[in-house]
A and B are shown apart, each in its own frame.
Chain A
Amino acid sequence: EAGVAQSPRYKIIEKRQSVAFWCNPISGHATLYWYQQILGQGPKLLIQFQNNGVVDDSQLPKDRFSAERLKGVDSTLKIQPAKLEDSAVYLCASSLGASGPLLLYEQYFGPGTRLTVT
């Protein structure tokens, strides 16, 4: 079974530039998550999709971050314009569902995209 795919793996941009990340979840997984992991910290949820609808985006800085999941499969996360404090690893995860039996909402993580803003 293929895992969660993310691209690019690394990105270096200057502040005020724009950047986009792509995620392809495990086939059949209805729920998709984007996390921000700053060095030395645990991941922080940015946005959660159930199919192509947003379930939770309470911690997404909406003035600069946006995400979409068209057709309920792939997803893109965009930052425009980037700030120095956006330097982090952006993790995408997916799960079969978002609640219920334990294994149903087991999250599988992709390798992440390491963003450096200079």
Chain B
Amino acid sequence: KNQVEQSPQSLIILEGKNCTLQCNYTVSPFSNLRWYKQDTGRGPVSLTIMTFSENTKSNGRYTATLDADTKQSSLHITASQLSDSASYICVVIRTNDYKLSFGAGTTVTVRA
């Protein structure tokens, strides 16, 4: 069964601090991995897209890493801001049917 597991389920951090979210997957065959940000009451918005050959990808204060050998990815948020409070969802896409496998998400709360 193709699965995407994320940890932690939720976390609270102080404004200005850094945090790292984890994603482990068993989806196969692998095409690419995406991190989405979902604000409360909104649909998910893509932050980064990484293919098999990419180890790291940045989007402003967001940096994603991918280890395709161990099937692990992380999303690092630097110097967090209140607007970073959201759910972050890891999504893995298969090469054969392009279907998206979603993780349950990590809810990040940034406090002043």
Contact = CB atoms under 8 A, between A and B. Distances in A.
Interface of A: 4, 9, 40-45, 56, 91, 93, 98-99, 102, 105-107, 109-112, 114
Nearest to A56: B99
A109 B43 contact: yes
Range, interface on chain B: 10 to 19
A105 B32 CA distance: 12
A42 B104 contact: yes
26 contacts: A9-B41, A41-B104, A41-B105, A42-B4, A42-B89, A42-B91, A42-B102, A42-B103, A42-B105, A43-B100, A44-B102, A45-B99, A45-B100, A56-B99, A93-B43, A98-B98, A99-B98, A102-B32, A109-B43, A109-B45, A110-B43, A111-B42, A112-B41, A112-B42, A112-B43, A114-B41
Interface of B: 4, 32, 41-46, 49, 51, 89, 91, 98-100, 102-105
Q: Which 8 A-B pairs have the closest CB atoms?
A: A109-B43, A42-B102, A99-B98, A109-B44, A42-B104, A110-B43, A41-B104, A43-B102
